[in-house]
Structure 1
Amino acid sequence: MKTPLTSLVLALALQASVALAQQVEPEAAIERVFTADKLEEGWFSPAFLEALSLREIESFIKSFVSQHGKFRSVSGEAGEYVVELEKAEVPALIALDQEGRIAALRLQEAIPLASLDELAKTIAELPGETSLLVISGGQDVVADNAEAEMAVGSAAKIAIMKAAADAVQGGKLSWDQTFELKEEWRSLPTGILQDWPAGTPVTLSTLANLMISRSDNTATDAMVQIVGREAIEEITPTNKPFLTTREFFTLKAQPNAELFRSWVDAPADKRPELLERLRELPLPSGGEIITRPTLEVEWFMSGRELCELMEEVKDLPAMSINSGMASPDEWEKIAYKGGSEAGVLNLTTWLEDAEGTNHCVVATWNNPEEALDERRLMSAYRGVLRNLAPEGD
């Protein structure tokens, strides 16, 4: 049984411990996890440790240090910080609980402290095939494999936006025009419209905003049907017939392997006949989709084509809702669309700085042999954007 004096000493010690913990600032907490030889459970909240074990946290931190060098400094405020390592900067979000323990910590893709040429080389050396196009002020700064038509996933939705904009400009459609969702437009995620009931009224503008900012596949298929497949094919003839996302998923469903092979083997002028068979099949479940890379069925575009299309649609409100890899604090205007699936990653960004200089940056990575470690391209891509940002911003 503890004496009153012992209890008092323990209470004072506990209060001192809590007070000491509360004095830990976010910058110090970040520095500690990057520089300590061994992490301690007491530095993290119980809820955080339920989501990630101490070993997983250590492995995650060490992956940054091993790739980008030792810790140098940390700066920022209000939960948003930048960790400077020897070879890169890492944007970090952190929240501490009332006892000074880390309750949330998110480290974003590192931004390499490297030149544009070095970053272009890093991208070119990724396994598989890559393409990088950087245009500044209308001039090519980097054009590595920029004319190659590669799988770009949802970045092809930029072509749908161009067709929609042409239809609006020609008086065939209007952005405030309302349509009722149709059952045959329903597709698989990403997105939210796949969960909305058929008959829900939505405007063309809403469909465009969701298609670009959230890569909503049901909104995409609605846009294809409203704008017209033929109008999109005129913009990107390589992708004829231009698949809806529902048709894309149906072809890549495991029960439809025979139809997949027929599509791949068929010449382009015979594929429209197979669309009729596709329309008769039900929407597959997400669990039925082949998870390995299957680049034979895709949307194919070059970096040059994507830059040219982005130039045409950059001023549409839908293109600036999601800024992608670029920081809104550094640019006057950002237009973005990317795309990804197994073996495919594309990042397409149009930028305008305070001086009115325009940039277009398109990076594509394809690997038919294995899934991509997307962080490798995203990290280098952030570095490219950092090189283009005005000094002092």
Structure 2
Amino acid sequence: DTPVTLQTLANWMISVSDNGATDTLIHLLGRAPIEARMKDAGHSDPSSNIPLLTTVEAFALKGNNFNDLRPVFIKSEDAAQRKLIESNQNRLTLANVDGISFTDGPRFIDSLEWFASPNDIARLMVDLRARQSRTLLAAMAINNGVGPVAAADWTYLGYKGGSENGVLSMSLLGQRKSDGKWYVVTASWNNPDANVDTGPLVGFVTRLLALAAKTAS
């Protein structure tokens, strides 16, 4: 068998939003270093994402199997939340993610989620570009999220998206062909009461990208 490398995991996580790859990277790298990088990148409210939840932990907590634990977690401070997660590792497993809970729509997206404002995303993209990692930029460019026509005016176009019931996010880092300038285009659509439609947001982001490619600055 071919060994799975950190780069391969990162490629899967970014290009196809592979939750398993995401969680494996969190376990390998550790929560604390990732939380520290989030702070260093200038996140406006890092406490909202501390402790950094794996996707299994988050979706387990959102489900009906954890109606007892969820309100305690949401109301607790960072240290208490971390202790709660650590003391319930034997329960917060994939086997205890209750998929039936999600058939009716969004689940606690305003209180149990991974949070970032558009400015947080923009600062993170700037921070990532400043690292000048060819491996990182290549991973982000595997799937540009908008297709070849929308990418035609860009020398480089990297993308990371995310979605769940009631949540859709698209963020792009691009270098414009016309003058070599770098831009970030990011948008999120959140509805705690109903699922959101991918089509309108993709169209909106594609239009923003086109405007950024042609607007003088």
Using the size of structure 1 for normalisation, the TM-score is 0.46
The aligned amino acid for 2:190 is N
The superposition leaves residues 117-152 of structure 1 with CA deviations (integer Å, 9 ceiling, x where unpaired) of xxxxxxxxxxxxxxxxxxxxxxxxxxxxxxxxxxxx
Look up the match of 2:73: 263
1:301 to 83, 105, 116: 116
Aligned to 2:86: 276
Alignment of 1:104-183 (within 5 A): none
- Distance in 1 (CA, whole Å) between partners of 2:77 and 2:102 is 23
2:25 maps to what in 1? 223
- The residue identity in structure 1 corresponding to 2:182 is N
Match of 1:324 in 2: 145
Aligned to 1:119: none
Select 1:346's aligned residue among 165, 169, 180.
Answer: 169
Match of 1:378 among 190, 197, 202: 202
Q: What code does the residue aligned with 1:336 have? A: Y
Give the letter aligned to residue 363 of structure 1: A
| 1:222-275 Cα distance to aligned partner (Å, 9 max, x none) | 111111100111133231100011111211222222112221122233101111
Measured at CA, do residues 260 and 200 of structure 1 come closer, stay the same or move farther in structure 2, by a change above 3 Å? farther
Larger radius of gyration, structure 1 or 2? 1
User: 1:219, 1:331 → 2: CA distance?
Assistant: 28
Distance across 1 between alignment mates of 2:214 and 2:118:
24
Deviation at residue 303 of structure 1 after TM alignment: 1.1
Using the TM superposition, give the Cα deviation of residue 319 of structure 1 relative to its aligned residue in structure 2, in angstroms.
0.9
SS of corresponding position for 1:352: strand
Quick check: 2:153–2:176 contact (8 Å CA) kept in 1? yes
**1:210 CA displacement:** 0.6
What residue number does 2:184 align with? Answer: 360
Distance 1:270 1:288 in 2: 28
Letter in 1 for 2:186: V
Judge conservation of contact 1:255–1:288 (CA < 8 Å) in 2: no
State the Cα distance separating 1:286 from its structure 2 match.
6.2
User: For structure 2, which runs of at least 5 residues remain unmatched after alignment?
Assistant: 39-45
Matched with 1:173 is none
Cα distance between partner residues in 2 of 1:290 and 1:231: 31
Q: Which amino acid counterpart does residue 145 of structure 2 have in structure 1?
A: G
Q: Could you tell me which of 41, 63, 66 is aligned with 1:253?
A: 63
Cα displacement (A) at 1:374 = 2.8
**Whole-angstrom CA distance in 1 between matches of 2:3 and 2:67:** 36
* C-alpha separation in 1, matches of 2:37 and 2:19: 20
Say if 1:289 and 1:211 are closer, same or farther in 2 by CA, change over 3 A: farther
Q: Distance in 2 between the 1:220 and 1:302 partners? A: 21
Deviations 1:142-198 (A, max 9, x none): xxxxxxxxxxxxxxxxxxxxxxxxxxxxxxxxxxxxxxxxxxxxxxxxxxxxxxxxx
2:7 counterpart (205, 211, 230)? 205
Q: Is the 8 A contact 1:249 1:289 kept in 2?
A: no
Q: Which contiguous aligned blocks of 4+ residues in structure 1 show a shift greater than 3 angstroms?
A: none
- Name whichever structure is richer in helix by fraction: 2
What secondary structure is seen at the aligned counterpart in 1 of 2:28? helix
1:323–1:367 CA distance, 2 compared to 1 (3 A): same
Moved more, 309-318 or 219-228: 309-318
Match of 2:43 in 1: none
Q: Percent identity?
A: 37
SS of the residue corresponding to residue 349 of structure 1 reads strand
- Under a length normalisation based on structure 2, what TM-score does the superposition of the two structures give? 0.81
Q: Over aligned residue pairs, what C-alpha RMSD do you find?
A: 2.1
What is the alpha-carbon distance in structure 1 between the residues aligned to residue 189 and residue 163 of structure 2? 9
Q: Which residue of 1 aligns with 2:160?
A: 337
